[in-house]
Amino acid sequence: MKPISSIISAIALSLGISASAATAPEVIKFDNGPEISIYKPSEPNGAAVLICPGGGYQKKCIDKEGYLFAPYFNDQGITLAVLDYRLPAGDATLPVGDAYTALEYLHENASRLNLNPDKIGIMGGSAGGHLAAQVAVTAPEKFAPKFQILLYPVVSMVDMSLAHRGSRERLLGDKAGDRETMLRHSPNLLVTPDTPEAFLVLTADDTIVDPENSMAYARALGQNGVGCELHMFAHGPHGFGANEVPFRQVWLDALTQWLNTTVLNK
């Protein structure tokens, strides 16, 4: 099997992105099991994204919703840290705790990694989007993400018409039917005016995660005066991640503009 750095370089070239941006990562393994792979740009601008791959809390789509985003971010001078978190198996504290650990590491090592703590954000797709949003609304202030990027996220754990049942059951285990537990893990119900700004992208005909999850989160952000940009395309598969889809360049261009306006030029 080819090393992931070679695969990323090949994909970068095919997409017209600088292959030099796709370098081998620095891998940090934490004592309790999780790890992060840090992809550093040749000319860092201080911004960083911690990305949480999806997979319904059953697996991790760590390529298309993780490593393969390295060329895109690095080409803009943004450091990408891919989180290989522990699957919950009913213990919701595991993935959230792993994301906290990774964010705290990025903050504590900001100088070495050429990062600006005020420009460290979080990203995730599907169940990884739930993890990213949950962290965005609950993380301690000292290492809370300053922005969030969510791809077709799972959001509600309490609304039975919206909840992705597999994700909920694997995350919450024997407490999946407990209302208070579901409420505590529904990011749309935990938004405050201090929640970081968000960029969301999804498709209207997503048959895996109801698009209303993203809409509910966007409404909650708006009701709390938090900036939110949402892009919903008419047709497309769930879980497209970094894969080629007809609207790929459109949503990435929109994200680039949002990053420039919301993060990089602040």
**Domain limits, the chain:** 26-264
Q: Is the pTM here over 0.85, yes or no?
A: yes
What is d(CA 201, CA 193) in angstroms, rounded to the nearest whole number? 22
What is d(CA 121, CA 259) in angstroms, rounded to the nearest whole number? 10
According to the model, what pLDDT value does residue 159 have? 82
Q: Is 259 helix (H, G, I), strand (E, B) or coil?
A: helix
If you search the block for the tokens 């969510």, which residue do you land on?
150
Q: What are phi and psi of 27, to 5 degrees?
A: -105, 125
What is d(CA 80, CA 77) in angstroms, rounded to the nearest whole number? 10
According to the model, what pLDDT value does residue 161 have? 76
The band of 10, judged by pLDDT with boundaries at 50, 70 and 90, is: very low
Of 138, 146, 153, 139, the C-alpha closest to 262 is 146
Strand partners, 39: 80
Q: Beta strand pairing status for 120-125 and 147-151?
A: parallel
The band of 2, judged by pLDDT with boundaries at 50, 70 and 90, is: very low
What is d(CA 207, CA 113) in angstroms, rounded to the nearest whole number? 40
Take residue 171 and report the two structure tokens written for it.
């995350």
Average pLDDT over residues 226-234: 98
CATH placement of domain 26-264: 3.40.50.1820
pLDDT at 106 over 80: yes
Tens digits of per-residue pLDDT, 130-166?
999 999 999 999 999 999 999 999 999 998 778 788 9
